[in-house]
Amino acid sequence: MERREFLGGAAAGVVAGATTVIGKSQAQTNSDTSKPNADGHLHSHEGASPSHSLLPSDPALRVKAIETLLVEKGLVDPAAVDAIIDQFEHNLGPKIGAAVVAKAWADPAFKKALMENAPKALASIGVVGSGAEQVIAVENTDKVHNVVVCTLCSCYPWGVLGLPPAWYKSEAYRSRVVREPRKVLAEFGINLPDQAEVRVWDSNSEMRYLVLPQRPKGTEAMNEAQLAALVSRDSMIGTGIPTV
């Protein structure tokens, strides 16, 4: 079933004033709606597989309901909305950043260019616009681990990572990762040695950071496509580590 058809059917009840109850299981499996627990702890569920039998989240239903009303009043063209959705789902997103990271791993000259002038290096492989011209690359090493945040709002390198996850925009993440980065990283499953330095990069409207994670050992024989498959969105924010 197409996304628009699925959301449209679910939203019909919202427009009509029906009440939709979302089960707890969905909230636990929806990676983009991960949020702090009552104790403020963050949990990332990237890679989870939500059931397609469940209704969309409340925000998705509200957005669809508004869209439906705007279309009915002739204020929005459904084709234009579909084009925007298609752009973010297929032409923008973490796969672009993953390809950049894989190329940096495989091509020392490109890695050097990326670290020295990320916008120029990105443009050389056709990655432009949507904040790509503001990207600064920071590299993880055995001695340094980088993690990115935007403490003021949700500044994010859309051009290489697509839409930011909900937890990235949450107050809990934005405030805690600055105060207690090691503890927050541990909640994402990253337990760093005591001697490793943690650097927190605060994005803003003029600077968007991209973490270049460490290449996993045992990947020397992999090509760029295989390497890109190892790179997650979280690893390019600094809240994940690529593994084989």
Residue 212's beta-bridge partner residues? 139
Return d(Cα 7, Cα 130) in angstroms, integer: 27
Please choose, from the candidates 238, 233, 171, 172, the residue with its C-alpha nearest in 3D space to the C-alpha of residue 201: 238
- pLDDT at position 30: 37
Residue % of the chain over a pLDDT of 70: 75
Instruction: Specify the pLDDT at position 32.
Output: 41
pLDDT tens figures, 157-197:
888 998 889 999 999 999 999 999 999 999 999 999 999 99
The pLDDT value given to residue 28: 34
Confidence at residue 60, expressed as pLDDT on a 0 to 100 scale: 73
Active site residue ranges: 150, 153-155
200 or 65, greater pLDDT: 200
Q: Mind listing the domains of the chain with CATH numbers? A: 3-91 (no CATH), 94-237 (3.90.330.10)
Alpha helix locations (H) across the chain?
3-15, 24-29, 58-72, 78-86, 94-106, 108-116, 118-124, 158-161, 166-169, 171-179, 181-187, 224-228, 233-237
pLDDT band for position 91 (cuts 50, 70, 90): low
Evaluate if pTM is beyond 0.75: no
Instruction: Give residue-wise pLDDT tens across range 119-132.
Output: 999 999 999 888 88
Q: Are 203 and 220 in contact (CB under 8 A)?
A: no
pLDDT at 42 over 70: no
